[in-house]
Amino acid sequence: MGRYIARRLLLTIPVLLGASFLIFAMVYALPGDPIRALAGDRPMSPAVIAELRDRFNLDDPLLVQYGKYLAGVFRGDFGTDFRMRPVLDTIAQRMPVTIRLTVVAIVFETVLGILVGVIAGIKKQSWFDSLTLVMTALIISVPILVLGFLAQYVFGLRLGLFPISGIDRGWYSYLLPGFVLGAGSLAYIARLTRTSLVENLGADFVRTARAKGLRPRVVYTRHTLRNSLIPVVTYIGADIGSLMGGAIVTESVFNLPGIGRAVFQSVQQQEGAVVVGIVTLFVFVYIFFNLVVDILYAVLDPRIRYE
């Protein structure tokens, strides 16, 4: 197991290099001149433009620019944005916000999603099951942006239950945006859990367990739920990565100063170093949680072994 994890972690290095180069190349390919955009329509001194282009290596070919960037990274210097703010500072300042938001979303979608899915699965074809199917279809089809504004309007403005924006009220501020961010995945998890549970409940070993006279609770928890959760765990692992993407919209709508907003602005301003730094971090998070999921398989299903 230890060797397996070490091998997987070593494999992340080429993946991260490849990913960072691809992102770097994409930012490089964006049309337009980011330095010109700094001053709007006002003319800038040609010497100042030249100075800034030189400072950020903008006149170099792609490979040279990337090489210089990478050389900096190995020295522990992740570069700065065009305003000389270190990229690491930006990440350090904004990451906690996004982590809190993601944690709220994950907890919310996992707990509620599995709960709803289990109830719907057990009470198959009840009114609760039908309601779940209708509601989840509805939530999945509504864009997160619309859901966000709707939540702000209803729970923030009309009912006054939650703050509309900002992070002034600690964890409480993250509840509403976290729910909105997790809502789509919640619906998926509920459906996934239900389907998987229904499937397993019809399996032979469950019939055997029932025939042996085990109490229904033991049948559900010991024999069914555990292996029904394998696809759900896979989904949640992959979802942590996509939640980061959804955070870009959610953070904008709820005005949370997180990493999603930073990456959005940086793409607009063609801040190569910032985009590469943050997105590479996203890639790492994604890889890391996939590894966690793979390890969790072994815990959930004793038949799976890694050597």
Partner 1 sequence: MYIGEPENPLVPGNTAESEGHQILSGLFTGLVTYGPKTELTWDGVAESMESSDSINWTVKLKDGWTFQDGTPVDAESFVDAWNYTAYSPNGYTNSGFFSNIVGYGDLQAPLGADGKPTGDPAAKEMSGLKVVDPQTFTVELTGPFAQFPITTGYTAFFPLPKAFFADPVAYGKKPIGNGPLQAETEMVPGQGITLARYDDYKGTNKAHADTVEMRVYTDVNTAYLDVQNGSLDIVDTIPPDAITTAPDEFGDRYQEFPSSSFTYMGIPLYQPRFQDKRVRQALSEAIDREAITKAIFNGTREPATDAIAPVVDGYREDACKYCTLDVEDANKKLDEAGFDRSQPIELWFNAGAGHDAWVEAVGNQFKKNLGVDFVLKGDLQFDQYLPLSEEKGFTGPFRLGWSMDYPSPQNYLEPLHSTKAFPPAGSNRAFYSSPEFEDLVKQGNEASSNEDAIKAYQQADDVLLEDMPIIPMFFGLTQTVNSERITHVNVDAFTTVDLAAVEVVNP
Binding region for partner 1 (CB under 8 A): 31-34, 36-48, 50-55, 59, 83-85, 90, 93-94, 149, 152-153, 156-157, 160, 163-166, 251-255, 257-258, 261-262, 264-265, 270
For residues 96 and 257, what is the distance between their CA atoms, to the nearest angstrom?
A: 10
For partner 1, which is the closer residue by CB, 21 or 264? Answer: 264
Nearest Cα neighbor of 148 from 125, 180, 191 is: 180
What's the alpha-carbon Rg for the chain, to the nearest Å?
24
Residue 168 CB, nearest distance to partner 1 (Å)? 9
Contact 97, 258 (CB under 8 A): yes
φ/ψ bin of 203: left (φ > 0), alpha (ψ from -120 to 50), beta (otherwise): beta
- Which are the contacts of 98, defined by CB distance < 8 A and separation ≥ 6? 244, 247, 251, 256, 258, 259, 260
Q: Transcribe 222-287 into DSSP letters.
A: IIIIHHHHHHHHHHHHHHHHHHHHHHHHHHHHTT--SHHHHHHHHHHTT-HHHHHHHHHHHHHHHH
Residue 20 CB, nearest distance to partner 1 (Å)? 23
**Token pair 């950020």 in the structure block, residue:** 56
Residue 171 CB, nearest distance to partner 1 (Å)? 17
For partner 1, which is the closer residue by CB, 124 or 169? Answer: 169
Residue 270 CB, nearest distance to partner 1 (Å)? 8
**Token pair 């198959």 in the structure block, residue:** 124
For partner 1, which is the closer residue by CB, 13 or 84? Answer: 84
For partner 1, which is the closer residue by CB, 157 or 211? Answer: 157
Residue 137 CB, nearest distance to partner 1 (Å)? 27
Take residue 112 and report the two structure tokens written for it: 């509620």
3-state secondary structure 208-227: HHHHCCCCHHHHHHHHHHHH
Helix (H) or strand (E) holding 205: helix 204-211
Distances (CA, A) of 188 to 136, 143, 194, 220, 285: 7, 14, 10, 21, 21
For partner 1, which is the closer residue by CB, 147 or 236? Answer: 147
Residue 39 CB, nearest distance to partner 1 (Å)? 5
For partner 1, which is the closer residue by CB, 83 or 212? Answer: 83
Find how far residue 193's CA is from the centre of its chain.
Answer: 20
For partner 1, which is the closer residue by CB, 117 or 163? Answer: 163
Strands (E), the chain: none
Residue 210 CB, nearest distance to partner 1 (Å)? 53
For partner 1, which is the closer residue by CB, 30 or 304? Answer: 30
Residue 195 CB, nearest distance to partner 1 (Å)? 37
